[in-house]
């Protein structure tokens, strides 16, 4: 946590393609890594999360992978659809473990 870097800042894909967003964190003690999706004009909402005791978690077309050694985690969206267009934020806990520190976001555009 404390410092969370996210890239790319924008990502454009064709419908049906896969999309990958990557984040790195600085605090090696971090143990929880959620991803939030914010549709245009809406509030951020949790879509998937992963804890440090697993390396991968899947939920239908989305998956998150975690590499604790390298201190990075990634969001994978397969078979993208226009409704996947949104801003995606990764996050990790602050040093105290009480609040989430978010990356700067990735704007995903899926064109049909």
Partner 1 sequence: DSGVTQTPKHLITATGQRVTLRCSPRSGDLSVYWYQQSLDQGLQFLIQYYNGEERAKGNILERFSAQQFPDLHSELNLSSLELGDSALYFCASSVDGMANTGELFFGEGSRLTVL
Angle at 60 between CA 54 and CA 65, to 5 degrees: 30
Candidates 35, 62, 77, 105; binder of partner 1 (CB under 8 A) is 105
Element (H, E) at 44: none
The reply on whether position 48 binds partner 1 by CB under 8 A is no
Which one of 43, 60, 69, 70 is in contact with partner 1 (CB under 8 A)? 43
Pick between residue 52 and residue 78 the one whose CB is nearest to partner 1. Answer: 52
Residues 6+ apart with CB under 8 A from 58: none
Site map 16..35 versus partner 1, x via CB under 8 A: ---------------xx-x-
Where does residue 68 fall: left (phi above 0), alpha (psi -120 to 50 degrees), or beta otherwise? alpha
14 binds partner 1 (CB under 8 A): no
């Amino acid at each position: 946590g404390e410092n969370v870097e996210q890239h790319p800042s924008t990502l454009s894909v064709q419908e049906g393609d896969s999309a990958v967003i990557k984040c790195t964190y600085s605090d090696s003690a971090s143990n929880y890594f959620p991803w939030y999706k914010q549709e245009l004009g809406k509030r951020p909402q949790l879509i998937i999360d992963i804890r440090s005791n697993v390396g991968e978690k899947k939920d239908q077309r989305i998956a998150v992978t975690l590499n604790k050694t390298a201190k990075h985690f990634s969001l994978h969206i397969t078979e993208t659809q226009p409704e996947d267009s949104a801003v995606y934020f990764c996050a990790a806990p602050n040093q105290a473990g009480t609040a989430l520190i978010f990356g700067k976001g990735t704007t995903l555009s899926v064109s049909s």
